[in-house]
Every structure is written in C-alpha cells, then in structure tokens.
Structure 1
Amino acid sequence: MIASGEHRAGGQFHRVAAMRGEPLSLSFDGQTIAAAAGQSVLSALLAHGRLLRRSEFGDDPRAGFCLMGACQDCWVWSQSGGRLRACTTPVAAGMILASRPVLPPHG
C-alpha cells in the first residue's frame, strides 16, 4: 500500500496538451512537485502520482472525489497550518503543503 504523499508509478492524471502557464514548483510532504501557473494543486499532485492523504476513519488513500470544491476529500494543509481544497486552489511558486495538519512547535 502506498503511504500518503508517496509517489505512484504513473500519475492518475495524464496531460494531453502542453502546459501553457509559467513553470512553478511546490513542496508536498517535503518533495518538490513541478506544476504550471493556472493549474490546481490537485491536478499537479495527481499528475505526479501523489495521493493527497489518508482517511480520518481508516487507512484508505484519498485523492479527491468531486473535483469541484463541493466535498472535503481533497484537503491539504499549508505551512501555516491552514486547510486548503486542493481541487480549487491554484498552485503558487514556493507553496509548502502537507498531507496532514502541520502542528505548531511547542513553546
């Protein structure tokens, strides 16, 4: 079984046209993901064979469900700890995202 954030051989999304936006990169669970301006976080991750997270109620992999922002299946967490819907959030250069909530440091 593939852990959340791990790479799968071949992406779930396959690009059929050249990317038109400016090339960008983001970090997901510490790994660099290539993307393009205008692309959603979800499409960038799935094109690179990434799972988004594991279910809160078991160990089932999650990778988005509705793909239009109506469900909560594609939540990812930002470096600041905020939740984002990967399917409706456009990639931005230097984004740092995680498959699990980012906990603040003790102190």
Structure 2
Amino acid sequence: MLVAVGAVLGVLLPTAGPVPGARAAAATTVADGVWDDLAECESGGDWRADTGNGYFGGLQIWPPTWEEAGGLRFATRPDRASRRQQTVVAEEILRMQGWEAWPACAREIGMID
C-alpha cells in the first residue's frame, strides 16, 4: 500500500500493515520533505531552535515527549540532536500521537484537516 500525500508534500512509504482510523499514518515512513515543511512552519526550519518556549529543535518537541519517544538515546533535548535523529524520534511521536502532535503546522502543510 502506497499512500500519496500530494505532489507538493511527497509520499508516505509503508513499513507495516494498515492501522485503522486516524493512526493510519503511524504505519508509514514520512518523506523527508514533509518533515522539512513541518520544521519550516514550527521553527522557521531551524533544527537547532531553542527559543525559550519550552519546545526544542526543528519540530518543536517538548522534552517529556522527546524522552517518551526514545529521544534520549540521541541527545538530552531535540535541539542537541541532528536533523535525522529528530525525524527518527518524530516518526515515533507520529506513531504514538498522530499528526495532532503538531496541530497547527500539520494542518497548515495539509497533513490533517
């Protein structure tokens, strides 16, 4: 199963069987361009963002969420991890929470209605 997100956003590639409902995205790997679009919205594309708002990195991940999703294997906070490490953790956050983890920006880039 290949799920198209749209020509502008790229495609989602399958890694597991289908998952019912809103969690369907959790069974996929997100194209790098989608993460870049999300980071552009969340942090202006700054993967080292530390703006003082309590969220960090390109995808503005809250430290407890970073820890819960396994981010501590890479760094103590998202802004201290590489872009690739942040997206690996973001894939787990997506599996756990869906696109609602980034409600405004996921909506802005067309990942949720």
TM-score by length of 2: 0.30
Greater strand fraction, Structure 1 or Structure 2: 1
